[in-house]
Chain A
Amino acid sequence: MSIISARMRGPWTLFKKELLRFWRVSFQTVAAPVMTALLYLLVFSHVLEGRVQVHGLNYTSFLIPGLIMMSVLQNAFANSSSSLIQSKVMGNLVFVLLTPLSYLEFFLAFLLASVVRGVAVGLGIYLVAIVFIDLPMAHPLLVLMFAVAGSAFLGAFGIIAGIWADKFDQMAAFQNFIIMPLSFLSGVFYSIHSLPPFWQTVSHLNPFFYMIDGFRYGFFGVSDISPLISLSIVLGSFFAISWLALTMLKSGYKLRG
Chain B
Amino acid sequence: MIPAIKIEQVQKHYGALQALKGIDLTIEQGEFFALLGPNGAGKSTLINLLAGLIKPTSGKLAVMGFDVQADYRQARHALGVVPQELVFDPFFNVREMLRFQAGYFGRGPENDEWVDEIIECLGLADKAHTNMRKLSGGMKRRALIAQALAHRPPVIVLDEPTAGVDVELRQMLWEFIKRLNRDGHTVILTTHYLEEAETLCSRVAMMKQGQIIALDTTANLLKKIPGKNLRLKLSAALPESLRPLLRHEEAFEYMLALTEVTQVEAVLAQIRQAAIAVEDMQLIEADLEDVFVDLVSKP
User: Which A residues are within 8 Å of any B CB, using their own CB?
Assistant: 2, 4, 6-7, 9-10, 12-14, 16-17, 20-21, 24-25, 87, 90-92, 94-102, 252, 256-257
Chain A binder among B47-55, B215-223, B250-258: B47-55
- In the complex formed, the residue of B with least CB distance to A101 is B104
Residue of A10, A90, A94, A257 touching B55 (CB-CB under 8 A):
A257
CA distance A24 to B72 in the complex (A): 32
Given contacts A20-B91, A99-B76, 15 further A-B contacts (CB under 8 A): A6-B106, A9-B107, A16-B100, A16-B103, A17-B92, A91-B83, A94-B53, A94-B83, A96-B104, A98-B52, A98-B53, A100-B76, A100-B77, A100-B106, A256-B55
B79 partner residues in chain A, CB cutoff 8 A = 98
Determine whether the beta carbon of A257 is less than 8 Å from that of B104.
Answer: no
Q: How far is the CA of A14 from the CA of B92 in the complex (A)?
A: 13
Give bound CA distance, A134 to B147, whole Å: 52
Assuming the contacts A20-B91, A92-B89, A94-B83, asked whether A99 and B53 have C-beta atoms less than 8 A apart, the reply is no
Q: How far, in whole Å, are A6 and B111 apart by their CA atoms in the complex?
A: 12
State A101–B51 Cα separation when bound (angstroms).
Answer: 13
Tell me whether B88 and A90 are in contact (CB under 8 A): yes
B92 touches A20 (CB 8 A): yes
Q: How far is A17 from B91 in the complex, measured between Cα atoms in Å?
A: 9
CA distance A96 to B104 in the complex (A): 7
Most buried by B among A24, A87, A95, A96: A95
B interface list, Cβ under 8 A from A: 14, 48, 51-55, 72-74, 76-77, 79, 81, 83, 85, 87-92, 96-97, 100-101, 103-109, 147
Interface pair A257/B108, CB less than 8 Å apart: no
Closest to B106 in A: A6
A96 to B53, CA, bound (A): 10
Structural contact, A90 and B87, CB atoms closer than 8 A: yes
Contact: B52 with A10, CB < 8 Å?
no
- Residues of chain A contacted by B88 (CB below 8 angstroms): 90, 92
Q: Which of A99, A101, A252, A256: most chain B Cβ within 10 A?
A: A99
Q: Is the CB of A98 within 8 A of B76?
A: yes
Q: Which residues of A contact B52 (CB under 8 A)?
A: 97-98, 256
Residues of A near B109 (CB, < 8 A) are: 2
Contact B89 A99 (CB under 8 A): no
Cβ contacts under 8 Å, B103 to chain A? 9-10, 12-13, 16
Within the complex, the shortest CB–CB distance from A163 to chain B, in Å, comes to 15
Q: How far is B297's CA from A18's CA once the two chains are assembled, in angstroms?
A: 49
Nearest CB of A to B186, in Å: 17
Provide the residues of chain B in CB contact with A16, threshold 8 Å.
100, 103
Smallest CB gap from B83: residue in A: A94
B residues in contact with A95, CB < 8 Å = 87, 89, 97, 100-101, 104, 147
Q: How far is the CA of A82 from the CA of B92 in the complex (A)?
A: 16
Q: Measured between alpha carbons, how far is A94 from B90 in the docked complex, in Å?
A: 14
A-B residue pairs in contact (CB < 8 Å), sample of 25: A2-B109, A6-B107, A6-B108, A9-B103, A10-B104, A10-B106, A12-B103, A13-B100, A13-B103, A20-B96, A24-B91, A25-B91, A90-B89, A94-B87, A95-B89, A95-B97, A95-B100, A97-B51, A99-B76, A99-B105, A100-B105, A256-B52, A256-B55, A257-B54, A257-B55
- A85 → chain B, closest Cβ, in Å? 14
* B106-A7 in contact (CB<8A): yes
Residues of A within 8 A of B51 (CB): 97-98
Cα(A256)–Cα(B105), bound, Å: 19
Q: Which residues of B are found within 8 Å of A7, using beta-carbon distances?
A: 106
Most chain A beta carbons < 10 A, residue from B72, B77, B89, B109: B89
**Which of B48, B104, B105 is packed against the most chain A CB atoms within 10 Å?**
B104
A63 to B146, CA, bound (A): 52
Query: What is the bound-complex CA distance between A102 and B106, given in angstroms?
Result: 13
